[in-house]
Amino acid sequence: MSNGSFPPTFRRPSGLLLAVAVLLVAGAAGWLAWSAFAGDGSGERGGRAPHASGEPAGGPGGESPDASPDPAGDRPGADPSGDAGDRSLRGKVVVIDPGHNPHNGEHAAKIARTVDVGTHKKECDTVGAATASGYSEAEYTLDVARRVRRLLEDRGAEVRLTQDGDRPYGPCVDERAEIGNRAHADAVVSVHADGSGTGNRGFHVIAPARVRAGKADTSAITGPSRTLADRLIDRFGRATGAAPANYLGGGSGLTVRDDLGGLNLSAVPKVFIECGNMRDSEDAALLTDARWRERAARGIADGVTDFLRD
């Protein structure tokens, strides 16, 4: 037409239609570029698993510097046994009793004095056992107790130690029991490592016998303490891969005693766990391994957790 208009069969595209067309073209180009980068959608990019450093997880060798043969993981700070954010033990009080004290040997006269444990009198405390290399039971128990505390606190429990390396010696066995009683603890675990003969291997848990003598009366706690012992035997064995002791308990991992002041004087559920034999070279190799101690702590924490959730 002489006035420059289009024939009636054609209409000039509106501005909106042009904008939509441009967006569609740009979107298609972007999708093609992303597809080339992303590969087949299996999680690989450019033929490599995504990792912040640009290397496969764990570095060029493919193994993390702190990798462990334990598939559940054993790095301090991690609690692989429970769901993230698990606070199921909120409101529960747990006392962990690290056996002996690294400084007991410096106070021989004080730890040798006797205290009343109901059935008889016995020493306030002892120096405990040690490996052939000189790693002491007291060092072991304090390290494991601190690891157990961390794991249980992560699950919401209030955790108290009978000593945290903050005492010159002890406490004496009667005071150790009293600490749990005063706390109205829902569970108490006394952590130890045995000092038996070479060739005697494995762990065992000691539950209180029924005792009523003097100021000792375990009649109300023998049942729940036995349940706590059973949970610990199960969980400790699973976490560490260790077998129940081959030298007592008939292979069950359980012994019952009436001569331990820490049990006789307890008014709350309490057990001892002997995590291994420090005087056997194979057990000593485990007890002195920090990664194995983390697994031991996890086994104890899991046993306590199972007991408190029952």
3-state SS, residue 215: coil
Beta carbons of 275 and 296 less than 8 angstroms apart? yes
What is the number of domains present in the chain?
A: 2
Read off the amino acid at residue 264.
Answer: N
Quick one: tokens of 133?
A: 């290399």
Beta carbons of 215 and 116 less than 8 angstroms apart? yes
Shared domain check, 281 and 236? yes
Beta carbons of 285 and 64 less than 8 angstroms apart? no
Does 2 fall in a domain?
Answer: no
Does 20 fall in a domain?
Answer: yes
3-state SS, residue 191: strand
pLDDT at position 65, please?
30
Residue 17's H or E segment, with its range, is helix 15-38
Quick one: tokens of 154?
A: 């992560």
Of the two residues 11 and 204, the one the predictor is more confident about is: 204
pLDDT at position 310, please?
86
How far from the centroid of its chain's Cα atoms is residue 278's Cα? 21
Strands (E), the chain: 93-98, 114-116, 121-123, 158-161, 187-194, 204-208, 212-213, 216-217, 254-257, 270-277
- Which residues have a catalytic role annotated? 274
CATH number at 130 reads 3.40.630.40
Compute the average pLDDT of residues 142-165. Answer: 98
Shared domain check, 171 and 253? yes
CA distance 73 to 71: 5
Length of the chain: 310
The predicted-structure confidence for 56-74, as pLDDT tens digits, reads as follows: 223 323 323 333 334 334 4
Band (297; pLDDT cuts 50, 70, 90): very high
User: Which residues neighbour 212 within 8 Å (Cβ) at sequence distance 6 or greater?
Assistant: 218, 219
pLDDT at position 140, please?
98
CA distance 257 to 243: 21
Does 290 fall in a domain?
Answer: yes
* Count of C-beta atoms within a 10 Å radius of residue 257: 13
The predicted-structure confidence for 211-237, as pLDDT tens digits, reads as follows: 999 999 999 999 999 999 999 999 999
Shared domain check, 56 and 101? no
